[in-house]
Structure formats: structure tokens, C-alpha cells
Copies of this chain bind each other. A is one copy, B any other.
């Protein structure tokens, strides 16, 4: 993944917020039936509601974050759940600490 794309993904207030929400879902989202935060993450609808932006915008933002390897998704039934991708975030941390 291109470094620039990672930073572009992070250079938007809402996308940064989504990442902080996903860091501690239990603090930011109501309980979910049938899917726990730790394993699968949070579904798109919950994130969209909290953000206040449109469904299409949030869907796109999530795919931008996913293309940058900052989050990953799991489909369960009609829902798509997103959670933090620890490996991608670790790689980002390494870039900051060793390349710039």
C-alpha cells in the first residue's frame, strides 16, 4: 500500500473519528446482538448514524480506510462489520518512526 494513500485516508475529520470510535467500540456504540465488537467490529449503519453523514458517504469512507489497510471488514448476513486492523496501524507507526 502506498504511503501517500494511508495519509490521505487519515486526512479527514470523520475518517479519523471513525478510527478512534473503532479503537473503543464499547464506549461509542450501543450493544449489538449477534456480533461482538472484538471479533467482527461495528456495522456500517451504527457508524453512519453516529457520524451524521449520508449512508453513501460513510460506505465510501470505510472503503477508503480499508484500502489503506487501517480497518478490515466481515460480512455477516446482511450486515458488514468493520474493525481496526492492528497490522496496518503497526505498519503506519513504523513508517512514522523510521522513515520520516
A interface residues with partner B (beta carbon < 8 Å): 3-4, 7-8, 10-13, 16, 19-20, 23, 70, 89, 92-93, 96-97, 99-100
Contact = CB atoms under 8 A, between A and B. Distances in A.
Contacts of A7: 7-8, 10-11, 16
Nearest to A3: B16
A99 B11 contact: no
Nearest to A13: B4
Contacts of A3: 16
Given A4-B13, A7-B10, A11-B11, A96 B100 contact: no
A96 B7 CA distance: 11
A100 B23 contact: yes
Contacts of A4: 11-13, 16
A45 to B, nearest CB: 22
The 7 residue pairs across chains A and B that have the minimum distance between CB atoms:
A7-B11, A7-B10, A8-B11, A19-B100, A11-B11, A93-B96, A7-B7
Contacts of A70: 100
